[in-house]
Amino acid sequence: MQNQRLPKKEQLSKSVHSPGSQAGHPIGIFDSGIGGLTVASAIHRLLPNERLIYFGDTAHVPYGDKSAKAIKGYSEGITEFLLDKQCKIVVIACNTASSVAFRNVQRLCSGKALTTNVIDPMVQYVSAKYRDEKIGVIGTKGTINSRIYPRKFKQKAESLQVSSAATPLLCPMIEEGFFNNTISKTIIYDYLSKNHLDDIQALILGCTHYPLIKKEVESYYKRDVEVIDSSEIVAQKVQDLLSAQSLLATKKPTAKNRFYISDYTESFEASTRLFFTGDIHLQEMNIWK
Ligand code: DGL
């Protein structure tokens, strides 16, 4: 559990980045592309005083079909970038990276910044609410093949039945701006009807891109299935972690939120504007040189 691994308050204040309080430092968030913006915007809504630094690794999206070794390398590179920007917490806003690279990110952040993934807060939320029911999880091949959700539920809520399905077309589809249209509806309905996901009580959207298709998933289930996305649950977790270390920003930031991408795409810019209004500082940053 990430709680047991949190750097102590004293250790954080000795960070190489900050001789004084880190409360005014930014929150670092990363994903392979636009998916993590769903988490970033939930954090922004819940914690409007916080300044965000977002990194979308668009040069390598999708992560879902990459090897664990590659994803660990990408996650480490991005974490170093966010630590250089003096982030006080690094949020892995990607299920695929959370399933294989959380330890690597924690190790780099140790004594410098807090960390959270998107999976532990979700498992905590679901196991507090469901005990003997059947739930479903959809996500990338990387997340589903890692079996991280069934393994974590086995520890937390043993009698919960978990049915998982990889839905690899969904991330590239969403990244290309295909959602709320007939193509996305056909693909989503096809995946949901073929993967033993009919008799479930709740469905976890185990990819941070999927909140963008949440309405379409809900429309497939004509009965009461709770479709759960992690954005607000993770935002709450970030608030709890920062608050426990007295690291919440107390006044509006003077600097703007920053959005970095490793390869510029128009669809990323358009999606950023779906989530954040006003002046958007989007910058291509090739950290892989
Ligand atoms: N949004 C990410 C996730 O939660 C990444 C999806 C991908 O790049 O394949 O898994």
For ligand 1, mutation pick of 60, 145, 207 (most atoms within 8 Å of CB): 207
Q: What is the pLDDT of residue 6?
A: 40
Least confident of 115-119, 155-159, 202-206: 155-159
Task: Give Cβ neighbours of residue 167 (< 8 Å, ≥ 6 apart).
Answer: 138, 139, 140, 191, 207
Bridge partners, 138 (sequence order) = 165, 205
> Would you say residue 280 has pLDDT above 90?
no
pLDDT at 12 over 60: no
- Region 32-53: what's the mean pLDDT? 96
Query: Whole-angstrom Cα distance, residue 140 to residue 100?
Result: 12
DSSP string, 46-103: H-TT--EEEEE-TTT---TTS-HHHHHHHHHHHHHHHHHTT-SEEEE--HHHHHHHHH
- H/E segment holding residue 276: none
Q: Is 31 exposed, middle or buried (0-12, 13-18, 19+ CB in 10 A)?
A: buried
Pairing between β-strand 27-31 and β-strand 89-92 as defined by DSSP bridges: parallel
pLDDT for the residue 8: 46
Q: Average of pLDDT values for 240-244?
A: 98
Span(s) in the chain for CATH 3.40.50.1860: 9-118+232-284, 120-230
Report residue 2's pLDDT band, with 50, 70 and 90 as the boundaries: very low
Ligand 1 centroid distance, CA of 62 (Å): 6
Indicate the pLDDT class of residue 14, thresholds 50, 70 and 90.
very low
Name the residue among 55, 18, 19, 28 with its Cα closest to residue 241. Answer: 28
Angle at alpha carbon of residue 102, lines to 78 and 161, rounded to 5°: 135
- What is this structure's pTM? 0.92
State the fold for domain 120-230: Rossmann fold (3.40.50)
Q: Residue 109: is its pLDDT beyond 70?
A: yes
* Phi, psi at 80, each rounded to 5°: -60, -40
Pocket of ligand 1 (CB under 6 A): 31-32, 35, 61-64, 94-96, 139-140, 143, 171, 207-209
- Asked if the peptide bond before residue 48 counts as cis, ω within 30 degrees of 0, the response is no
For residue 4, the SS3 value is helix
Which residues are known to be catalytic? 94, 207
Q: Once rounded to an integer, what is the mean pLDDT over residues 253-259?
A: 92
pLDDT of residue 195: 84
Residue 198 banded pLDDT, cuts 50, 70, 90: confident
DSSP state at residue 2: G
Residue 36: which pLDDT band, with cuts at 50, 70 and 90? very high
Is 70 exceeded by the pLDDT of residue 10?
no
Residue of 29, 67, 140 to test ligand 1 pocket, by largest number of atoms within 8 Å of CB:
140
Q: What fold is seen in the domain 9-118+232-284? A: Rossmann fold (3.40.50)
Question: According to the model, what pLDDT value does residue 175 have?
Answer: 87
Please provide the average confidence, as pLDDT, over all residues in the chain: 91
